[in-house]
Amino acid sequence: MSEIRKHYFLEDYCIIAAGRGKRPSDYSSFPEVQNATSCVFCAGKEDMTPPAMAVYKHGKILQDSKNELIRDWQIRCIPNLYPALSPEGAGIPYQSGYGFHEVIIETPQHEKRLTNFTDDEMTLLMTAYRDRVLHYWKQPQIQYVSLFKNWGKQAGASLEHTHSQLIALPLIPPLIKRESDLIHEKSKCPYCDIVHMESSNERSIYENKHFIAFAPYCSKVPFEIWFLPKEHVSHLGAMSEDMLHSLGVAMSYVLSRLETVLGSPSYNYMFFQLLNDDSYHLNIRLQPVTSKMAGFEKNTDIFINTMPPEKAAEYMNEGMSEQETH
């Protein structure tokens, strides 16, 4: 039997259709391996990309110059070679596709993936996320900064070397605008309610000092997982070092569990946040890519999900003791 579920507070529905009784192995996939020797994101290939806007190196944030490309880095932020938007035509932002498109190379090592990162490396990545988002949010006419990661070919990653992306836009996406408008109408933050509701129930997956992770009631896709700060913060820039550390550790835990349960899934994660709207509650949505978006979804924007989030959480928690997950 299926179930039509409404989003926690938005006019947004999904269909949970567990009929086929699927198991995690039905969603497993293993990525094709690319050739590291041709990768332009690797250490030593700095001259093969545009100069870096920001380079994280042993506690410092540096920038490439024309004469000197910084070597021996930890995280390297470069303009996307094929930008969706570019800073040229600021005068007519829509017609000229004004904006910024950056690639955040998360490590100089080709084979390394987020699940191999130490807690310190994850914290540094969250710090770089915060810095880069704030940097672009301050640019003229920028209204929204989209921060996301595509991991694996099925999730839209064209290069294998682990990286995230950031696109700064001269508009607030209507999707986000609708959500923030609805939140303004409420007397209390609905995400704060969600933190309370999903902290210790059958959809809970992880909790630490500052963050919870859970399979949302209205999961659009199998093994969708949300990360929510327990305190109300609107964007990465409002987060303390301690919170960034908590977030890094939470993501690291969840991604590792996902790898154990699903093999090596392609996935996207997206940061939802607003800089100038204190009523918004930052949230991060992780969606493994295990199925195709087909005609029904494109017609209705209602997703058919064959893995109930309660069941997904059960698989994610299998064999983990209370102590390990908390």
Task: Pick between residue 50 and residue 173 the one whose CB is nearest to its own copies.
Answer: 173
Strands 13-17, 303-305: pairing kind: parallel
Minimum distance, C-beta of residue 100 to its own copies, in the bound complex (Å): 12
Task: Pick between residue 73 and residue 272 the one whose CB is nearest to its own copies.
Answer: 272
Cα–chain-centroid distance for residue 104? 13
Distance, CA of 126 to CA of 312 (rounded, Å) = 26
Task: Pick between residue 83 and residue 237 the one whose CB is nearest to its own copies.
Answer: 83
Distance, CA of 269 to CA of 43 (rounded, Å) = 25
Minimum distance, C-beta of residue 72 to its own copies, in the bound complex (Å): 29
Task: Pick between residue 93 and residue 309 the one whose CB is nearest to its own copies.
Answer: 93
φ/ψ bin of 125: left (φ > 0), alpha (ψ from -120 to 50), beta (otherwise): alpha
Task: Pick between residue 61 and residue 90 the one whose CB is nearest to its own copies.
Answer: 90
Minimum distance, C-beta of residue 247 to its own copies, in the bound complex (Å): 17
Strands, E, within 247-322: which ranges?
A: 267-272, 283-288, 303-305
Q: Angle CA(324)–CA(120)–CA(64) in degrees, nearest 5?
A: 150
Q: Angle CA(96)–CA(102)–CA(107) in degrees, nearest 5?
A: 170
Distance, CA of 228 to CA of 195 (rounded, Å) = 7
For 39, the enclosing helix (H) or strand (E) is none
Distance, CA of 129 to CA of 308 (rounded, Å) = 31
Minimum distance, C-beta of residue 84 to its own copies, in the bound complex (Å): 5
Minimum distance, C-beta of residue 93 to its own copies, in the bound complex (Å): 7
Task: Pick between residue 62 and residue 304 the one whose CB is nearest to its own copies.
Answer: 304
Minimum distance, C-beta of residue 37 to its own copies, in the bound complex (Å): 23
Work out the widest C-alpha separation in the chain, in whole angstroms. 65
Minimum distance, C-beta of residue 75 to its own copies, in the bound complex (Å): 18
| Contact by Cβ (8 Å): 250, 208 | yes
Task: Pick between residue 62 and residue 218 the one whose CB is nearest to its own copies.
Answer: 218
Task: Pick between residue 80 and residue 279 the one whose CB is nearest to its own copies.
Answer: 80
Under the rule (CB under 8 A), what is the footprint of its own copies?
Answer: 1-6, 11-13, 15-17, 19-20, 82-86, 88-89, 93-99, 144, 146-150, 153-157, 165, 167, 169-171, 173-177, 268-272, 285, 287, 289, 291-296, 298-302, 304
**Measuring CA to CA, which residue among 190, 171, 272, 173 is closest to residue 227?**
272
Distance, CA of 49 to CA of 79 (rounded, Å) = 8
SS3 142: coil
Minimum distance, C-beta of residue 157 to its own copies, in the bound complex (Å): 8
